[in-house]
Amino acid sequence: MAVGTNLTHKLSELSFTFSIARRYLFSKKSHNAINVISGISATGVAIGTLALVVVLSVFNGFESLVTDMFSNFDPDLRISLVQGKSFENNTAQFEQVKKLAGIAVYTEVIEENALIRFKDKQLPATIKGVSENFATLTNINSILYDGKFELYDGAFERAVVGIGVASKVGLGAHFIDPLYIYAPKRGNKINLLRPENSFNQSACFVSGIFSVQQAQYDDNYVLISLKHARELFDYKANTVTAIEIKLINQKDKETSKNQISNILGTNYKVLDSYEQQASFFNIMKIEKWITFLILCFILMIASFNIIGSLSMLIIDKKSDIQTLKSLGANNQLIKRIFLFEGWMISALGAGIGIIIGTTLSLLQEKLGILKLGTGYIVDSYPVATNMSDILYILLAVLGMGFFAALYPVKYIRTK
């Protein structure tokens, strides 16, 4: 019973404190400057909050855009060795992986570095030999800049190259001159007298050019058939450097990843699409949160206005403080009233900033009002509104508002 009485008393006291603080916030003061400074404080917080919402939404938009670009070339899951490069995939464990319910496409991959030559131009490149079902594993057809995706036409070996590679060596999808690929013979030493004998040489014709809009792929990769890659790099049948997998349902990615890891054991690593580009996405996240901290610092400076407006309000309400003291209010209650007052200024600014910022972000996301101009990957600034970011912003703004209000309240004189 005593607990219930204490709780009721606390709630009543809290309600009273909030009511007085709200009245002080919106009522007319004896000095109009206090209203002006309070308005400036709330406006400063609102603008800072708005900037945080919009900037983080733009970062989310660019991250989503880059993720979509990588997903056109990267698999949902990629299996490779923890130590070493190549492995046999005709084991019972891999047969079990193939039969997992969540797997839609299972592709064998051989990936090695080699030298390519077209006419008189040479370039080191990453050669990726893939199974015939690679087009169903990825969205390679959607990113073809020229030609078509074809790795063997029934008579000749074909290649699909990145747009950067094609540009550097002067390739086109319909050229009749072959592209030559040179790879060191596995296990052989370089013959200094006749170095050409130390390399496997292969010729193929370019059938298509792809553009992921990411330099690590566009400027380096050449896709050839898996059979062609095995012959070129002296790999035996069933030997691969990686297995790439497409899932039926993206929501089951973590489940499928854990199932595969449990089947294959600790000698293999299973990477999802984010982990395959971990360094890139980590840099993006670091940039995002450093920007967040910089804007929070600016917002903290704007929150210092709360100290000025609250200090002037305390001076203006000296008589009210004495009245409340005479009516039985203790020091803690009086300080809490003005602490709520300062916090409400921050909350008001945060609320306005979040509403306007979210509205602007959603309008940009749906309508693409702010254009980037010609020559860019997308027509307008990519934006993605994330509710978790808005929650972090709200907590940060309210936290800064609380500490800004704490300073003048701490030195209230009630005698």
Q: What is the pLDDT of residues 325-344, one digit of tens each?
A: 666 666 666 667 767 777 77
The dihedral through the CA atoms of 249, 254, 258, 264 has a sign that is: positive
Q: pLDDT category, 121, cuts 50, 70, 90?
A: very high
The pLDDT, as a whole number, for residue 33 is 57
The pLDDT, as a whole number, for residue 1 is 46
Question: Residue ranges of the domains in the chain?
Answer: 11-69+281-410, 75-276
Lowest mean pLDDT among 170-184, 199-213, 365-379: 365-379
Asked if 181 and 129 touch (Cβ cutoff 8 Å), the reply is no
Q: pLDDT category, 304, cuts 50, 70, 90?
A: confident
The pLDDT, as a whole number, for residue 32 is 56
The pLDDT, as a whole number, for residue 130 is 93
Tell me which residue has tokens 């009233």.
337
The pLDDT, as a whole number, for residue 372 is 76
What is the phi/psi pair of residue 73, to 5°?
-125, -35
d(CA 136, CA 148): 14
The pLDDT, as a whole number, for residue 198 is 73
Asked if 404 and 48 touch (Cβ cutoff 8 Å), the reply is no
The pLDDT, as a whole number, for residue 126 is 95
Reduced to 3 states (helix: H, G, I; strand: E, B; else coil), residue 121 is: strand
Of 114, 67, 232, 224, the C-alpha closest to 158 is 224
- Mean of pLDDT values over 283-288: 89
Q: Cα–Cα distances in Å, from 364 out to 121, 299, 357, 379, 381? A: 45, 24, 11, 12, 8
Lowest mean pLDDT among 22-31, 168-177, 263-272: 22-31
Asked if 397 and 49 touch (Cβ cutoff 8 Å), the reply is yes
- Mean of pLDDT values over 360-368: 89
Asked if 73 and 143 touch (Cβ cutoff 8 Å), the reply is yes
Q: What is the pLDDT of residues 57-112, one digit of tens each?
A: 999 988 888 888 888 889 999 999 999 889 998 899 999 999 898 899 999 999 99
Mean pLDDT of the chain: 82
Reduced to 3 states (helix: H, G, I; strand: E, B; else coil), residue 223 is: strand
d(CA 263, CA 44): 56
Reduced to 3 states (helix: H, G, I; strand: E, B; else coil), residue 198 is: helix
User: Token digits for 155?
Assistant: 């008579």
Q: What is the pLDDT of residues 197-256, one digit of tens each?
A: 678 899 999 999 999 988 889 999 999 999 999 999 989 888 999 999 999 988 888 899
User: Token digits for 357?
Assistant: 């910022």
Q: Which helix (H) or strand (E) holds 313?
A: helix 278-316
User: Is residue 184 over pLDDT 70?
Assistant: yes
- Mean of pLDDT values over 116-136: 92
- What contacts 45, CB < 8 A, 6 or more positions away? 299, 302, 303, 306, 345, 346, 348, 349, 350, 353, 397, 401
The pLDDT, as a whole number, for residue 23 is 61
What whole-number percentage of the chain has pLDDT above 70? Answer: 78
The pLDDT, as a whole number, for residue 24 is 57
Of 207, 271, 200, 196, the C-alpha closest to 231 is 200
The pLDDT, as a whole number, for residue 167 is 93
User: Token digits for 211?
Assistant: 């553009």
d(CA 281, CA 278): 5
